[in-house]
Amino acid sequence: MWGKYIIVVAFLGYATSANVTSGAPADGVPRLDLPNLESGYHGLVKENETIVEVRPKIRAVGAEICSFRIVNKHHGEAPFEIILKDKDETKTEAEAILRARKALNCEKRKNYKFDISAVSCAGDVSDNATVHITVVDINEYPPTFLDPSYVHQVDEGRLYEEIIRVEATDRDCTPKYGDVCKYEILTSDQPFTIDNEGNLKNTY
Protein backbone atom coordinates (compact mmCIF):
# COMPACT_ATOMS: atom_id res chain seq x y z
CA MET A 1 0.00 0.00 0.00
CA TRP A 2 2.69 2.47 1.02
CA GLY A 3 4.80 1.40 -1.92
CA LYS A 4 2.03 2.23 -4.40
CA TYR A 5 1.37 5.60 -2.83
CA ILE A 6 5.02 6.66 -3.06
CA ILE A 7 5.17 5.62 -6.69
CA VAL A 8 2.13 7.79 -7.53
CA VAL A 9 3.63 10.83 -5.82
CA ALA A 10 6.89 10.37 -7.64
CA PHE A 11 5.08 10.15 -10.97
CA LEU A 12 3.10 13.35 -10.33
CA GLY A 13 6.32 15.12 -9.44
CA TYR A 14 7.88 14.02 -12.69
CA ALA A 15 4.84 15.08 -14.73
CA THR A 16 4.87 18.54 -13.19
CA SER A 17 8.53 19.18 -13.83
CA ALA A 18 8.16 17.89 -17.41
CA ASN A 19 5.36 20.39 -17.97
CA VAL A 20 7.45 23.25 -16.70
CA THR A 21 10.31 22.50 -19.05
CA SER A 22 8.16 21.94 -22.14
CA GLY A 23 5.64 24.58 -21.08
CA ALA A 24 2.86 22.66 -22.71
CA PRO A 25 0.02 20.95 -20.96
CA ALA A 26 -2.61 20.49 -23.66
CA ASP A 27 -5.20 22.25 -21.51
CA GLY A 28 -2.97 25.11 -20.30
CA VAL A 29 -3.26 28.80 -21.02
CA PRO A 30 -1.56 29.72 -24.30
CA ARG A 31 1.10 32.39 -24.46
CA LEU A 32 2.91 34.08 -27.29
CA ASP A 33 6.52 32.93 -27.49
CA LEU A 34 8.23 36.32 -27.38
CA PRO A 35 11.48 37.33 -25.67
CA ASN A 36 9.81 40.59 -24.73
CA LEU A 37 6.04 41.05 -24.81
CA GLU A 38 6.48 44.85 -24.67
CA SER A 39 8.50 45.19 -27.86
CA GLY A 40 6.12 42.90 -29.73
CA TYR A 41 6.49 41.98 -33.38
CA HIS A 42 7.82 43.94 -36.34
CA GLY A 43 6.68 43.17 -39.85
CA LEU A 44 7.63 44.25 -43.36
CA VAL A 45 5.41 43.84 -46.39
CA LYS A 46 6.14 45.02 -49.90
CA GLU A 47 3.54 47.05 -51.77
CA ASN A 48 3.08 44.32 -54.39
CA GLU A 49 3.01 41.38 -51.95
CA THR A 50 0.69 40.19 -49.20
CA ILE A 51 2.86 37.94 -47.00
CA VAL A 52 4.28 39.92 -44.08
CA GLU A 53 7.81 39.07 -42.95
CA VAL A 54 7.46 39.11 -39.18
CA ARG A 55 10.31 39.16 -36.62
CA PRO A 56 10.34 37.29 -34.36
CA LYS A 57 8.14 34.59 -35.85
CA ILE A 58 4.60 34.43 -34.50
CA ARG A 59 4.60 31.37 -32.25
CA ALA A 60 2.46 30.32 -29.32
CA VAL A 61 3.14 27.72 -26.62
CA GLY A 62 1.52 26.39 -23.48
CA ALA A 63 -1.57 24.78 -24.98
CA GLU A 64 -2.91 23.21 -28.13
CA ILE A 65 -3.48 26.28 -30.30
CA CYS A 66 -6.48 26.38 -32.62
CA SER A 67 -6.22 29.94 -33.89
CA PHE A 68 -4.61 33.35 -33.65
CA ARG A 69 -6.64 36.50 -33.74
CA ILE A 70 -6.25 40.20 -34.32
CA VAL A 71 -7.56 41.61 -31.08
CA ASN A 72 -7.91 45.34 -31.43
CA LYS A 73 -6.97 48.09 -33.79
CA HIS A 74 -5.17 51.08 -32.30
CA HIS A 75 -5.30 53.20 -35.41
CA GLY A 76 -8.25 52.31 -37.58
CA GLU A 77 -8.32 49.50 -40.06
CA ALA A 78 -5.94 46.55 -39.97
CA PRO A 79 -6.42 44.69 -43.25
CA PHE A 80 -4.52 41.58 -42.14
CA GLU A 81 -5.25 37.99 -41.23
CA ILE A 82 -3.29 35.44 -39.21
CA ILE A 83 -3.18 31.92 -40.53
CA LEU A 84 -2.18 28.99 -38.36
CA LYS A 85 0.52 26.87 -39.95
CA ASP A 86 0.53 23.09 -39.55
CA LYS A 87 1.03 22.21 -35.91
CA ASP A 88 3.98 20.11 -34.87
CA GLU A 89 3.31 16.54 -33.73
CA THR A 90 3.44 17.29 -30.04
CA LYS A 91 0.78 20.02 -30.54
CA THR A 92 2.57 21.99 -27.86
CA GLU A 93 3.53 24.92 -30.01
CA ALA A 94 2.03 26.58 -33.04
CA GLU A 95 3.31 28.99 -35.64
CA ALA A 96 1.35 31.44 -37.72
CA ILE A 97 1.87 33.56 -40.80
CA LEU A 98 0.55 37.06 -41.20
CA ARG A 99 -0.98 38.10 -44.51
CA ALA A 100 -2.46 41.31 -45.85
CA ARG A 101 -6.05 40.94 -47.02
CA LYS A 102 -5.46 43.35 -49.88
CA ALA A 103 -2.59 44.98 -51.73
CA LEU A 104 -1.16 47.76 -49.57
CA ASN A 105 -0.07 51.13 -50.78
CA CYS A 106 2.63 53.04 -48.91
CA GLU A 107 1.75 56.19 -50.85
CA LYS A 108 -1.54 56.07 -48.91
CA ARG A 109 -0.39 54.55 -45.61
CA LYS A 110 3.08 53.44 -44.49
CA ASN A 111 2.46 51.94 -41.05
CA TYR A 112 -0.08 49.74 -39.31
CA LYS A 113 -0.29 48.71 -35.69
CA PHE A 114 -2.57 46.20 -33.96
CA ASP A 115 -2.57 43.53 -31.23
CA ILE A 116 -2.70 39.78 -31.64
CA SER A 117 -3.35 36.87 -29.32
CA ALA A 118 -3.32 33.09 -29.53
CA VAL A 119 -6.42 31.03 -28.76
CA SER A 120 -6.22 27.47 -27.48
CA CYS A 121 -8.54 24.73 -28.69
CA ALA A 122 -10.11 24.86 -25.22
CA GLY A 123 -10.93 28.53 -25.81
CA ASP A 124 -8.29 30.12 -23.55
CA VAL A 125 -6.79 33.32 -24.91
CA SER A 126 -3.18 34.44 -24.44
CA ASP A 127 -2.01 37.91 -23.44
CA ASN A 128 -1.85 40.36 -26.32
CA ALA A 129 1.27 41.49 -28.13
CA THR A 130 1.51 44.41 -30.54
CA VAL A 131 2.44 44.03 -34.20
CA HIS A 132 4.09 47.01 -35.93
CA ILE A 133 3.98 46.81 -39.71
CA THR A 134 5.85 48.90 -42.25
CA VAL A 135 4.82 48.88 -45.91
CA VAL A 136 7.95 48.69 -48.07
CA ASP A 137 8.02 50.96 -51.12
CA ILE A 138 8.46 49.68 -54.65
CA ASN A 139 9.21 51.89 -57.65
CA GLU A 140 5.80 52.18 -59.31
CA TYR A 141 5.86 55.78 -60.49
CA PRO A 142 8.13 57.66 -62.89
CA PRO A 143 8.80 61.34 -62.24
CA THR A 144 6.38 63.71 -63.99
CA PHE A 145 6.80 67.40 -64.76
CA LEU A 146 4.54 69.82 -62.91
CA ASP A 147 3.66 71.47 -66.25
CA PRO A 148 2.97 69.45 -69.40
CA SER A 149 5.05 71.95 -71.41
CA TYR A 150 7.19 75.02 -70.76
CA VAL A 151 7.17 77.87 -73.27
CA HIS A 152 9.58 80.76 -72.91
CA GLN A 153 10.83 83.50 -75.21
CA VAL A 154 14.47 84.62 -75.08
CA ASP A 155 16.31 87.53 -76.68
CA GLU A 156 18.76 86.71 -79.42
CA GLY A 157 22.41 87.35 -78.77
CA ARG A 158 22.05 87.09 -75.00
CA LEU A 159 23.59 84.51 -72.65
CA TYR A 160 21.23 83.74 -69.78
CA GLU A 161 22.13 82.59 -66.27
CA GLU A 162 18.73 80.93 -66.10
CA ILE A 163 16.09 80.88 -68.81
CA ILE A 164 13.57 78.78 -66.99
CA ARG A 165 13.41 76.32 -64.13
CA VAL A 166 11.48 73.10 -64.64
CA GLU A 167 10.36 70.79 -61.86
CA ALA A 168 9.27 67.18 -61.72
CA THR A 169 7.91 65.10 -58.81
CA ASP A 170 7.56 61.39 -58.21
CA ARG A 171 4.69 59.86 -56.22
CA ASP A 172 6.61 56.95 -54.65
CA CYS A 173 6.65 57.16 -50.84
CA THR A 174 10.38 56.90 -50.07
CA PRO A 175 13.38 59.03 -51.12
CA LYS A 176 14.94 55.97 -52.74
CA TYR A 177 12.18 55.71 -55.33
CA GLY A 178 10.51 59.10 -55.01
CA ASP A 179 13.30 61.69 -55.22
CA VAL A 180 14.15 63.36 -58.52
CA CYS A 181 17.95 63.26 -58.79
CA LYS A 182 18.67 65.19 -61.97
CA TYR A 183 17.36 66.47 -65.28
CA GLU A 184 18.70 65.72 -68.75
CA ILE A 185 18.13 67.18 -72.21
CA LEU A 186 17.36 64.34 -74.60
CA THR A 187 17.87 66.22 -77.85
CA SER A 188 21.51 66.41 -78.91
CA ASP A 189 23.16 69.28 -80.77
CA GLN A 190 21.29 72.20 -79.26
CA PRO A 191 22.59 75.25 -77.39
CA PHE A 192 21.13 74.53 -73.93
CA THR A 193 22.16 72.83 -70.70
CA ILE A 194 20.12 71.86 -67.68
CA ASP A 195 21.50 71.28 -64.18
CA ASN A 196 20.39 68.82 -61.49
CA GLU A 197 17.96 71.39 -60.04
CA GLY A 198 16.18 71.85 -63.36
CA ASN A 199 17.69 75.24 -64.30
CA LEU A 200 17.86 75.60 -68.06
CA LYS A 201 20.23 78.05 -69.75
CA ASN A 202 21.78 78.62 -73.13
CA THR A 203 25.45 78.00 -73.88
CA TYR A 204 25.89 80.46 -76.77
Site for Ca ion, rule CB under 5 A? 137, 139-141, 170, 172, 177
Q: In angstroms, what is the minimal distance from the CB of 197 to Ca ion?
A: 18
Residue 184 CB, shortest distance to Ca ion, in Å, is: 16
When the beta carbons of 141 and 150 are compared against Ca ion, the nearer one is: 141
Q: How far is CA 1 from the centre of its chain?
A: 63
Please, which residue, 10 or 168, has the CB nearer to Ca ion?
168
Q: Cβ closer to Ca ion: 159 or 168? A: 168
Task: Kindly state the smallest distance separating residue 98's Cβ from Ca ion, in Å.
Answer: 21
Nearest Cα neighbor of 61 from 111, 19, 101 is 19
Ranked by CB distance to Ca ion, the top (closest) residue is: 172
Q: Which of residues 19 and 105 has its CB atom nearest to Ca ion in the complex?
A: 105
Minimum Å gap between C-beta 172 and Ca ion is: 4
